[in-house]
Structure 1
Amino acid sequence: MIVDKLLPLIERYDNINQELIKPEVLSNVKLLSKLTKEQSDLSSLVEKAKEYLAVLKSLEDNKELLDDKELGDLVKEEIKILESKKVDLEEEIKLLLIPKDPNSNKNVYLEIRAGTGGDEAGIFVGDLFKAYCRYAESKRWKVEIISSSENNVGGYKEVIALIKGDSVYSRLKYEGGTHRVQRVPDTESQGRIHTSAVTVAIMPEVEDIEININPNDLQIDVFRSGGHGGQSVNTTDSAVRITHIPTGISVSMQDEKSQHKNKDKALKILKARIYEKELEEKMQLESQNRKEQVGSGDRSERIRTYNYPQNRLSDHRAGITLYSLEEIMLSGNLDLVINPLLAHMQSLSVQE
């Protein structure tokens, strides 16, 4: 019963409030920060829980008056209102009871790579990256390009960026997967529609304490950075490739002139990729009993189609179809698809 879940949470919230006025807690910055965060996380749920318990009490009181000849009719109307409010509160509480993703407030590494489609896929990598940058700007997030590899037609083979800001991961966590684009390339003289694909990965930025990598599991190779046309851009071996032997995950970095800086960047991305792989494996394990796996974060999963001739964007997981593709891409108004997608994923969590 929902009440059995709520009472311990209310008790815990009241206990935290008592703890927060104790001098020994106020003088312990680490404990104070931990309790304040827990208090903040519980506050909305506890507020709704107390409101819900008050409605249950009112229902009980009113039902005792049903046989009263003078108040009977008024009580029936009041009970209808309270029953409706009870149902609404139960739905709100179910959402609030969903465990919060520990990564929600983290920054993310955004990685976009060209897939099938040759040059056109590379051009779309650039277009999609610009859309994400515009979206980030609208959210007042900061975008830092970590690594990029351009192709010969103004696009990218791949681009990796660190996006910093408030609730970045919670907004972008379902963007990972295969994004398919259908349009007529500028180089197409016959006006035929081509289908290309790019893959997107969203990786939470992780701290050293969150993922432990044994240095003996790393193979580090240094080599000379290559510029356009194979020419050397540095006179020293500053480029770095780090391979995590147990998983086979490898990261190369050559954007910086300093070998130390390239190694540092490569190690951070390597940790993010390993962390992402662990998240995927955990999510797939938890999803084995589902009838269908939705939003597993698997990069091979085709999640979205961008059809330019029809000005249509379709998200295949939530069944979302929007005829405002141009606005979304040019203005970066990705909330048009992200908001209903998040609502869909949240509803699936409630069902579980």
Structure 2
Amino acid sequence: MFDRLDDTLMRYEEMMNQLSEPDVANDPERFKRLMKEQSDLTPIVEAYKEYKQCKQNVEDSLAMLDEESDEEMRELAKEELNESKARIEELEQELKVLLLPKDPNDDKNVIVEIRAGAGGDEAALFAAEIYRMYVHYAESQRWKVETLEMEEIGIGGMKSVNFMITGQGAYSKMKYESGVHRVQRVPETESGGRIHTSTITVAVMPEAEEVDVEIDEKDVRIDVMRASGNGGQCVNTTDSAVRLTHYPTGIVIYSQTEKSQIQNKAKAFALLRAKLYDMECQKAHDAEAEARRSQIGTGDRSEKIRTYNFPQGRVTDHRINLTLYKLDKIMNGDIQEIIDACIAADQAKKLAKMGEE
């Protein structure tokens, strides 16, 4: 580990020298690449420098205890020694986590797809509530949310909704939301007061750039039509809705949220790229069975990850055996505690796997 840290420190110093060179400032692409690398390496370098300083403090304190006869000075040296040793242990753990292989998609924006599953109208209502939960969470992170595609039902529910979240590290946090979400409650339409169980599926896909996925125009049929559903402001009066059909995969994308056909087409292609990129990621994931087992569920669509029990006011994440009795706050977007727990469990699993190698 320490050989890697020394190499990282050397690379960081070399990179800082490069950033101060005039020709780098005149090359925007290279400058951007180096700034990104600097951002990635800074936490590791700062932690390693503090680690080395603590090691030095331990040596200095031991030397002082050997040489010093004054009892007050000896007490100060012992205090410094204990503090530095404790911090060294903390930093060793921090550095192990910082050196874990990083998911290349972590810095990307995400496209989230929510679909109502078992439970009919109740599932559609819950899908709309989970959508609002993520919108509130995104707002708390100062991320931007943009709806790409939505199929609503008349009572305020959603059969499906696709939306993009744009913001620093969106995928690194949102990826833990992929899977089946289950709700247990008495539906408003239930006269007998019986608790029903309904499900929705959530798919979190990293946004794909054109360089990530090449789409051959011959493989896509583009149809334009008038938007359906709630109208107003020209939405239903012009041929602004766009439907894409991707022949090789059979994926169909429908976009009508914008008044402009050009904007709807751009959104539809963004969603198609994300779905195709996600399919490639899933294939790679499935090929790496061990890697899948060493992660907290971040991709399996069929995995039941969470239950929202309204009568008891609790939310349980089944992957990490975490139960919280603050359902109202969670439904209002306060999901950071769950995400932090998933990240910690994911890191612990990966560290354990590294220890076995």
Give me the TM-score of the superposition, normalised by structure 1: 0.86
Pairing 1:184-223 to 2, within 5 Å after superposition: 184-216=186-218, 218-222=219-223
CA RMSD of aligned residues (A): 3.0
Q: Does the Cα contact within 8 Å between 1:109 and 1:205 map onto a contact in 2?
A: yes
Q: Are residues 171 and 296 of structure 1, via their aligned partners in 2, closer, same or farther at CA, if it must alter by over 3 Å?
A: closer
**SS state at 2:23 partner:** helix
Pairing 1:246-325 to 2, within 5 Å after superposition: 247-256=249-258, 259-288=261-290, 294-325=296-327
Deviation per CA, 1:13-53: give whole Å up to 9, x if none: 11112212222223222222222221222122112212223
2:48 counterpart residue number? 49
Q: Quote how far apart the aligned CAs of 1:64 are.
A: 7.6
2:92 counterpart residue number? 90
Q: Are residues 41 and 292 of structure 1, via their aligned partners in 2, closer, same or farther at CA, if it must alter by over 3 Å?
A: closer
Q: Quote how far apart the aligned CAs of 1:136 are.
A: 2.0
114-123 vs 295-304, which deviates more?
295-304
Q: Are residues 193 and 86 of structure 1, via their aligned partners in 2, closer, same or farther at CA, if it must alter by over 3 Å?
A: same
2:135 counterpart residue number? 133
Q: Does the Cα contact within 8 Å between 2:184 and 2:308 map onto a contact in 1?
A: yes
2:120 counterpart residue number? 118
**SS state at 1:295 partner:** coil
**SS state at 2:30 partner:** helix
Q: Quote how far apart the aligned CAs of 1:237 are.
A: 9.2
Whole-angstrom distance in 2 between the partners of 1:86 and 1:205:
39
Q: Are residues 271 and 244 of structure 1, via their aligned partners in 2, closer, same or farther at CA, if it must alter by over 3 Å?
A: farther
**SS state at 1:209 partner:** coil
Whole-angstrom distance in 1 between the partners of 2:27 and 2:238:
52
Deviation per CA, 1:121-160: give whole Å up to 9, x if none: 0011111111112222222222222111112332111111
Deviation per CA, 1:256-286: give whole Å up to 9, x if none: 5655444332211010011122223333333
**SS state at 2:194 partner:** coil
1:351 counterpart residue number? 352
Give the AA of the match of 1:312. Answer: R
Give me the TM-score of the superposition, normalised by structure 2: 0.85
- Point out where structure 1 has 5 or more consecutive residues left out of the alignment: none
1:31 counterpart residue number? 30
Q: Quote how far apart the aligned CAs of 1:10 are.
A: 0.7
Whole-angstrom distance in 1 between the partners of 2:18 and 2:257:
50
Q: Are residues 328 and 70 of structure 1, via their aligned partners in 2, closer, same or farther at CA, if it must alter by over 3 Å?
A: same
Whole-angstrom distance in 2 between the partners of 1:87 and 1:325:
36
1:180 counterpart residue number? 182
339-348 vs 305-314, which deviates more?
339-348
1:333 counterpart residue number? 334
2:233 counterpart residue number? none
**SS state at 1:157 partner:** strand
Pairing 1:215-254 to 2, within 5 Å after superposition: 215-216=217-218, 218-222=219-223, 224-225=225-226, 227=228, 238-245=241-248, 247-254=249-256
- Point out where structure 2 has 5 or more consecutive residues left out of the alignment: 231-235
Q: Does the Cα contact within 8 Å between 1:183 and 1:308 map onto a contact in 2?
A: yes
Q: Does the Cα contact within 8 Å between 1:199 and 1:299 map onto a contact in 2?
A: yes
1:14 counterpart residue number? 13
Q: Are residues 134 and 237 of structure 1, via their aligned partners in 2, closer, same or farther at CA, if it must alter by over 3 Å?
A: closer
Q: Does the Cα contact within 8 Å between 1:311 and 1:323 map onto a contact in 2?
A: yes
2:171 counterpart residue number? 169
Q: How many residues align?
A: 345
5-14 vs 132-141, which deviates more?
132-141
Deviation per CA, 1:69-98: give whole Å up to 9, x if none: 969x87877655443332111011112112
Give the AA of the match of 1:340. Answer: A
